[in-house]
Amino acid sequence: MTPTIVPSAKKTDECLPVSGLLALAMTGFICIMTETLPAGLLPEIGAGLHVSPAFAGQMVTAYAVGSLSAAIPLTLATQRWRRRRVLLLAIIGFVVFNSITAFSTHYGATLMARYGAGAAAGLAWALLAGYARRMVTRAQQGQALAIAMVGTPIALSLGVPSGTWLGAVVGWRLTFWIMSGLTVLLIAWVLAKVPDFPGAAHHERLPFRHVLGMPGVKPVLGVVMAWMLAHNVLYTYIVPFIAPAGLVGQADRILLLFGIAALAGILLTSRTVDHALRLSVLLSLALFAVVSVAFAIESASPTVIVIGVTIWGLTFGGAATLLQTALADAAGAGADVALSMNVVAWNSAIAGGGLLGGVLFDTWGAASFPWAVMVLVAVGFLIAWTARSHGFRSGHRLKQGGSHDAG
């Protein structure tokens, strides 16, 4: 798994702090599980809180609002704190708020707990990429970030269906208690294996506007929005989209296939992110566009759906690694602040994808999804293509000047 690196690298992949990086991956896993777990248990949660499933679904909304509203202010407020303290604060937030969710019998208190859990997730997501990069040499950053991001596709493809099954067997409250128990174990893991780093000194603190104005930051965020909007339009409404192909009863297998392909995409990206980041982004977007064309033409073909989902998953798997690497490189010492912006952009795209997909579905049906995806992916490709000087530069990222790790 060792990518081609510049000769100045002093460590090999044998020196990668894999256990610590996997602790970060587990943090991402907890984030995704906590976010999506209610979606598969809405009838049970509604019955337990004496509300309708639609009101129970607002638990997912409250979590997303927490992430969107808290990521940037919490990141700015904790810039000077030691990094492991901030990471543990976010993780402890999951223990507290998931436990309140499991215990609460009051709908309003449950929504507040979900908002708090979302805020913890926003802070965690803003930290993970920068933390992984600081744990290794520059030559290892691509691999390190790929490992730290592996928890996300695992949670989406395996964790969420397992959590839904577990909730149906033992009850939704016990499922949230189990999540709290896993998070307590994660705290011990972080204390044992994740190194600590100092926060930013007073003179190193970078204002939000300064970081946003850095060359390359806005183009990368633009690609994040376009790419993730396209992805979420299709992913959120995957069941009605695959209905014409007669695959509704196999939706779980389709999503599992997507998750496995995404894992393969992460592995592939770990080999290309350092020496071919720009090419990897452009190729991923181009392949996603080709898949959307195939979906538009042959949406009723099970074969096209299966092959298309596999390619789509492969291109999506490395997206987080590629985009967060590009963003952190562009922001330099302001990486944590820039990555908090990424949290907002990413979650906005999730919400926007759901809204846009709903409008498209009600107006023109599921057949309109691939056309919308084509347009959005084309916008993302154009932004990435024109950001040759800053954001998505050609060549080996380790040979490029002007990028510095967050202090």
For the stretch 308-322, pLDDT in tens is 999 999 999 999 999
Q: Is residue 2 part of a domain?
A: no
Predicted local confidence at residue 1, as pLDDT? 36
Q: Is residue 8 part of a domain?
A: no
Band of residue 179 on the pLDDT scale cut at 50, 70, 90 = very high
Band of residue 152 on the pLDDT scale cut at 50, 70, 90 = confident
Is the domain of 268 the same as that of 144?
no
Buried b (16+ CB within 10 A) or exposed e, 77-104: ebbeeebbebbbbbbebbbebbbbbbeb
Is the domain of 99 the same as that of 120?
yes
CA distance 73 to 209: 13
Q: What is the pLDDT of residues 260-285, one digit of tens each?
A: 899 899 889 988 988 899 999 999 99
CA distance 245 to 232: 20
Predicted local confidence at residue 297, as pLDDT? 96
Domain end residue (candidates: 171, 205, 239): 205
Is the domain of 70 the same as that of 143?
yes
Predicted local confidence at residue 160, as pLDDT? 67
pLDDT above 80 (res 171):
yes
Predicted local confidence at residue 14, as pLDDT? 54
pLDDT above 50 (res 13):
no
Q: Is residue 36 part of a domain?
A: yes
Section 202-207 average pLDDT: 68
Predicted local confidence at residue 246, as pLDDT? 92
Q: Is residue 6 part of a domain?
A: no
Predicted local confidence at residue 3, as pLDDT? 38
Predicted local confidence at residue 138, as pLDDT? 83
Tell me what percent of the residues of the chain surpass a pLDDT of 70: 93
Q: 200: which 2 tokens?
A: 């930013």
Predicted local confidence at residue 406, as pLDDT? 42
Give me the CATH number covering residue 67.
1.20.1250.20
Q: Is residue 9 part of a domain?
A: no
Is the domain of 219 the same as that of 249?
yes
Is the domain of 188 the same as that of 321?
no
Is the domain of 121 the same as that of 252?
no
Is the domain of 125 the same as that of 27?
yes
Mean pLDDT lowest for which of 125-129, 164-168, 362-366, 373-377?
A: 164-168
3-state SS record for 282-310: HHHHHHHHHHHHHHHHCCCCHHHHHHHHH
Is the domain of 28 the same as that of 136?
yes
Residue 231 contacts residue 353 (beta carbons within 8 Å): yes
Structural domain span for residue 345: 206-396+403-407
Is the domain of 196 the same as that of 337?
no
Band of residue 407 on the pLDDT scale cut at 50, 70, 90 = very low
Q: Is residue 5 part of a domain?
A: no
Residue 405 identity: D
Predicted local confidence at residue 156, as pLDDT? 76
pLDDT above 70 (res 9):
no
Q: 255: which 2 tokens?
A: 């999503």
* pTM (two decimals): 0.83
Predicted local confidence at residue 203, as pLDDT? 56
Buried b (16+ CB within 10 A) or exposed e, 177-204: bbbbebbeebbebbeeebeebebbeeee
Total number of domains in the chain: 2
Predicted local confidence at residue 404, as pLDDT? 44
CA distance 141 to 16: 10
Predicted local confidence at residue 57, as pLDDT? 78
Residue 331 contacts residue 214 (beta carbons within 8 Å): yes
Mean pLDDT lowest for which of 8-17, 127-136, 148-157?
A: 8-17
Is the domain of 50 the same as that of 192?
yes
CA distance 183 to 179: 6
Q: 319: which 2 tokens?
A: 């997206």
The pLDDT mean for the chain works out to: 87
Is the domain of 188 the same as that of 213?
no
Predicted local confidence at residue 400, as pLDDT? 65
Section 24-41 average pLDDT: 88
Band of residue 202 on the pLDDT scale cut at 50, 70, 90 = low
Residue 386 contacts residue 219 (beta carbons within 8 Å): yes
Q: Is residue 282 part of a domain?
A: yes
Higher pLDDT, 381 or 153: 381
Band of residue 7 on the pLDDT scale cut at 50, 70, 90 = very low
Predicted local confidence at residue 61, as pLDDT? 81
Domain end residue (candidates: 205, 230, 265): 205
pLDDT above 50 (res 193):
yes
Is the domain of 191 the same as that of 45?
yes
Predicted local confidence at residue 36, as pLDDT? 82
pLDDT above 60 (res 178):
yes
Mean pLDDT lowest for which of 147-161, 189-203, 213-227, 331-345?
A: 147-161
Choose among 38, 31, 249: nearest CA to 163.
38
The residue with tokens 């932004």 is 383
Band of residue 380 on the pLDDT scale cut at 50, 70, 90 = very high
pLDDT above 60 (res 231):
yes
Residue 306 contacts residue 186 (beta carbons within 8 Å): no
pLDDT above 70 (res 384):
yes
Domain end residue (candidates: 155, 179, 205): 205
Q: Is residue 216 part of a domain?
A: yes
